[in-house]
Structure 1
Amino acid sequence: MIMLNTQGIVLRAVRYEENDVILTLFTRKLGKVAALAKGAKKNKSPLLPSSQLFSYCNYTLKKQGTMYRVNQGDIIKSFYDISYDLDAFSYATYITKLVENSTVENQTNNRLFILLAQTLHLYTQNDVDKKYITHAFELKFLDYIGFKPVVDRCANCQSKSLEKYVFNIYEGGIICNKCSDMFENNLKIDLTTVKLMEYILSNDIIKCSKAKVSKYIVYELQNILRGYLQVYIENVNLKSLHFLQSIQNDKGVDKGE
């Protein structure tokens, strides 16, 4: 039997039989895989901590047929605090579902793995705008899976002389004033939003988290990315975000979701 050590993050944990758990892991060495954590639901199981949602661990996996079995799991970071914060939990659920639904089994993507780990870490911090961080994640996610929007030149003619421009989701990015009449469904976009998108694409998310961004720019970024994701990514699951918005609406909070 093949034995492998790799870092991994729990994207999903589903109870199987009485005490077992089937994990969907996003790993450094294998990409997305399914792994059985035998007896992980028992209170004294050594696999219990490494079988929790969002856990970031060193795993020892044994290949068994089409699946893996978790032989050992050593916590690097549990991210357990996320479960105590409704906003953080909703956003974390959303991005892990995005990764799960948009990646192929056994296909590695180390840049995306690091991005996911860093973003989950940021969700545990009190001084971070989690809404903005989620949209920064979405933009970098699109880049890392091959759907990066063009924001530094016209997506049609490649001109960098952008005095006036719009954003066109179906054309994949910024469209200059000369080309804009050729396309329908153009969206107005603020210069600051364009510059922010360039900044996010050029820097790691930890550095991006330190930027102070106005609610208006975050809202505009959200509208563009939500439309972009729904066009280019299949099975975008917004349920956790819709649930969060309904809770915020009940409390009279307007966060622009």
Structure 2
Amino acid sequence: MIILNTQGIVLKAVRYEENDVILTIFTRKLGKIAAMAKGAKKNKSSLLSSAQLFSYSNYTLKKQGNMYRVSQSDVIKSFYDLSYDLEAFSYATYITKLVESSTLENQTNNRLFVLLAQTLYLYTQDNVDKKFITRAFELKFLDYIGFKPVVNRCSSCGEKKSNEYMFNAYEGGILCKACSGIFEENMKIDITTVKLMEYILSNDILRCSKAKVSKYITYELQRILKQYLMIYVDNINFKSLHLLQELENNNGVDKGE
């Protein structure tokens, strides 16, 4: 029997029979795996906290056929408090589903693992712009799964000195003024947004979280990345963000300042 110790973050938790839970865990050493947590729904179970959605724990896993079994666990950070904040919970649900649907089983991605853990941590902080952090996560996520948009030069001719760009998701990034006339489906993009995307791709998300970004630039980043994600990421689900959008619309929240 194979026994392995690894850090992991719970992406999905599905109740099985009365007290068991089938977990989808994104781990450091194994990538995404399915694992059975026997008896985890019992009130006195030692696995109770580590079998919750978003839980970040050390897991001792035993391989049983095509699935693992959690034999022991120690919680590093439960992130349980996210469930009390609608905005944070919605964004956390969105990014964990994004990771779950876009990663293959048993394929490690340590940069993405660290990004996910750090982003969940930032969602628990009061002084963080969670909408901007989600946009930063999306951009770095695209980089770490191999679909980084080109933002440091024209994606067509390679020009680096232009002060005016368009963004074309189908062409993989920004286009200079000359090249933008050749292609369709261009989107307007502020030069400040281009510089911000460069900054996000060059720094970890904890540093990015300290940036002061206007609502307008955050909205523009959202608009661009949504289209880009829909083109390059299969089975993307924005459902958990729809309620937030409806609440913002009902409260008359402005898209820019």
Is TM more than 0.5 here?
yes
Residues 20, 223 of structure 1: alpha-carbon distance in 2 compared, 3 angstrom cutoff: same
* 1:244 matched to 2:244: yes
User: What is the TM-score normalised by the length of structure 1?
Assistant: 0.98
Q: Secondary structure at the match of 2:61?
A: strand
Q: Secondary structure at the match of 1:182?
A: coil
Q: Partner residue of 2:154?
A: 154
Q: Partner residue of 2:67?
A: 67
CA distance in structure 2 between the partners assigned to 1:240 and 1:162 by the alignment: 38
Q: CA deviation at 1:243?
A: 1.8
Q: Partner residue of 1:111?
A: 111
CA distance in structure 2 between the partners assigned to 1:168 and 1:56 by the alignment: 37
Gaps of 5+ in 1: none
State which drifts further: 176-185 or 221-230: 176-185
CA distance in structure 1 between the partners assigned to 2:93 and 2:62 by the alignment: 27
CA distance in structure 2 between the partners assigned to 1:38 and 1:139 by the alignment: 37
Q: Partner residue of 1:14?
A: 14
* 1:37 matched to 2:37: yes
What CA deviation, in whole Å up to 9, does each residue of 1:33-72 have, x standing for no partner? Answer: 0000000000000000100000000000000000000001
Q: Secondary structure at the match of 1:75?
A: strand
Q: Secondary structure at the match of 1:221?
A: helix
Residues 255, 8 of structure 1: alpha-carbon distance in 2 compared, 3 angstrom cutoff: farther
CA distance in structure 2 between the partners assigned to 1:60 and 1:253 by the alignment: 48
User: What is the TM-score normalised by the length of structure 2?
Assistant: 0.98
Q: How does 1:22-33 map to 2 (within 5 A)?
A: 22-33=22-33
State which drifts further: 239-248 or 106-115: 239-248
CA distance in structure 2 between the partners assigned to 1:242 and 1:118 by the alignment: 24
How many residues are matched? 256
Task: Flag as ranges the 4+ runs of structure 1 deviating above 3 A.
Answer: 247-250
Gaps of 5+ in 2: none
* 1:98 matched to 2:98: yes
Q: Secondary structure at the match of 1:92?
A: helix
Q: How does 1:200-239 map to 2 (within 5 A)?
A: 200-239=200-239
Q: Secondary structure at the match of 2:99?
A: helix
Q: Secondary structure at the match of 1:242?
A: helix
Residues 210, 42 of structure 1: alpha-carbon distance in 2 compared, 3 angstrom cutoff: same
CA distance in structure 1 between the partners assigned to 2:119 and 2:15 by the alignment: 26
Q: Partner residue of 1:120?
A: 120
- Percent identity between the aligned chains? 75
Q: Partner residue of 2:81?
A: 81
Q: Partner residue of 1:198?
A: 198
Q: Secondary structure at the match of 1:25?
A: strand
C-alpha RMSD of the superposition: 1.1
Residues 255, 123 of structure 1: alpha-carbon distance in 2 compared, 3 angstrom cutoff: farther
Amino acid at match of 1:17: E
Q: Partner residue of 1:2?
A: 2
